[in-house]
Structure formats: structure tokens, C-alpha cells
Amino acid sequence: MGVYKNINNLTMPKMIIFDYGHTLIYEQAFDSIKGTQAVMAHAIKNPKNLTVSEVNEFARKLYRDLIGFSKERDIEIYNQKYQNLVYEYLEIELALSPKETEKIYWDNSSPGVIMPYIDEVITYINKRGIRSGVISNISFSGDTLAERINRLIPHNKFEFIIASSEYVYRKPNRLLFELALKKAGLKPQEVWFCGDNIRADIIGASNVGMFPVWYESSLECFYLNKTDNIPPDCDYLHITDWRELIQVLEQLKP
């Protein structure tokens, strides 16, 4: 059963919003070489005869420079603009649109599978009439993110999928959470937010008045610094298995 901290009088939420990575979908690793190789297979001009490794190294260095700036200010990089700079600067022409390039790169560098039992949660909330949505810190476009989520969780009824790439800011910026509330037409206290990142998800949701659910999986996460996940000083539910959320919601049925 989930662990509570200073929780009294929980009520059934009208909506549950989910984070994407390591919450809905599991990405085991990120192999940029595989992604670059898949994209470079579609190169129609490469006047400098650059290798996959050379292209990848240039892209990684540029990304390292950008990501530091991005995370310090909680501002998102838009991947399609970043990849445009990489390939145009290197004078490589691809027989792909920016969206196709992005999707091929992501699918090959970091394919995803659903997190254990999240499909049962989605089935349950659909059955109970609990509305749902997604807010994700991600550089990939909203369309590409939605395509992956809808492909891997086809029975979802997400009313919106908010990708930070489309809205400048990253969680925990309150504007993303408030945008979700505006889209839903709900008050903060009517919404729960589920995520794996204490700062971005739990504190971010709590700061706007949503009830946060901290989902802490035993699966290794290649981008999450576990030392940052110190239990927050706010009310929240802590679960380690998605079936625990169903148990909690069952107790709240009228």
C-alpha cells in the first residue's frame, strides 16, 4: 500500500495527470550512436564524408552545451531545431522531414515499453470515469511524444499531452501545471499528478495545489539522479507499484 505523509480526507480525483518518462513509459537506455546511424542511413548529401561517429560526437557536444543552460533555467530545448542545426551546419542533407528525423532518431536511440502495470491503471481510471492527461519534460515534439504514447498505450483517454518542448518551460515551472488545469477546466484540488521526479513532478504539482503521487520504480533510470529524490516537505502519496494506486482509489469510492 502507498505511504502517506500528513494526508487527511483524501477524495477521489476528477482527473489524474501523468509524467511520461519512467512513469508511463520505460526507456532502458539512450544510445545516440544507434539513433545517429539510423538517421544517417537517409543522408543524400554528405560532402565531407563524415562518419556516424563524427556526426554523433558533434551533436553530443552541442547538446551538452545546451542542456546545461536549459536545466539551470528550466527552459526546454526544441529537438527539431537542435537537429536542424546539427545537420545543416555539417552540410548533411537528409531525405527526411524534421519530424521524421526526430522520430527515427528517438525510436532507434531509446525505444520505450510501458511501465509495469500502468496499463491496469489506465484501464481502471477509464472505467471509473477519471479523466487523464500528460505533462512531460521532453525535447522531442508534442506530436512525436503523443505518437509514442498512443502506440504503446492505445486504450488511453488522455485529453491532452503537454510536451515542454512546445511551451518553452520545463517542470516544475507552474505555468505548465496551470496550463493543464486550464485545458481541463478543473481546480487544482480536483487533480492528482503522478511522476517519478521529486523536484519536477511532486514539488511542482504541490506548488499549484494538485495532489502529488510519487511513483518510485525499482527499474533503473538512466537520467534520474537518485540523490535528488529526497522525500519532499509536502503532502503526497508514495507508491512503488502502480497497483497500489488502484488500491488507494478503490478505498475512495463513494
Q: What is the pLDDT along the chain (254 residues), one digit of tens a residue?
A: 445 654 557 899 999 999 999 999 999 889 999 999 999 999 999 999 999 999 999 999 999 888 877 777 899 999 999 999 999 999 999 999 999 999 999 999 999 999 999 999 999 999 999 999 999 999 999 999 999 999 999 999 999 999 999 999 999 999 999 999 999 999 999 999 999 999 999 999 999 999 999 999 888 876 777 656 678 888 899 999 999 999 999 989 87
Of 54, 81, 109, the position where a domain reaches its end is 109
Do residues 133 and 233 both lie within one domain?
yes
Element (H, E) at 136: strand 131-136
| CA–CA gap between residue 83 and residue 89 (Å, rounded) | 10
Measured at the alpha carbon of residue 60, what is the angle toward residues 230 and 224, in degrees to the nearest 5? Answer: 15
95 and 174 belong to one structural domain: no
Q: Tell me the backbone φ, ψ of residue 106, rounded to 5 degrees.
A: -65, -45
Quote the domain boundaries for residue 212: 3-28+112-251
In this structure, the answer to whether residues 184 and 195 fall within a common structural domain is yes
The pTM for the full model equals 0.93
Last residue of one domain, picked from the residues 109, 125, 147:
109
Residues 132, 160 share a domain: yes
Question: Do residues 146 and 100 both lie within one domain?
Answer: no
Say yes or no: 133 and 21 in one domain: yes
Strand locations in 137-201 (E): 158-163, 191-195
DSSP SS3 for 239:
strand
Q: Report whether 153 contacts 122 (CB < 8 A).
A: yes
Q: How many CA atoms lie within 13 A of 111 on its CB side?
A: 7
Comparing CA positions, the residue from 243, 235, 239 lying closest to residue 10 is: 235
Residue written as grid cell 537537429: 83
Cell triple for 155? 486504450
For the chain, the domain total comes to 2
Assess whether 244 and 122 both reside in one domain. yes
67 and 132 assigned to the same domain: no
CB atoms within 10 A of CB 246: 18
Amino acid identity of residue 42, one-letter, is H
Using only the alpha carbons of the chain, give its radius of gyration.
19
| For the chain, the helix, strand and coil percentages under 3-state DSSP, each to the nearest 5 | 45, 20, 35
Which amino acid does the sequence have at 70? S
- Other CB atoms within 10 A of residue 83 CB: 19
In a shared domain, residues 186 and 211: yes
Residues 211 and 241 in one domain: yes
Last residue within a domain, chosen from 82, 109, 136: 109
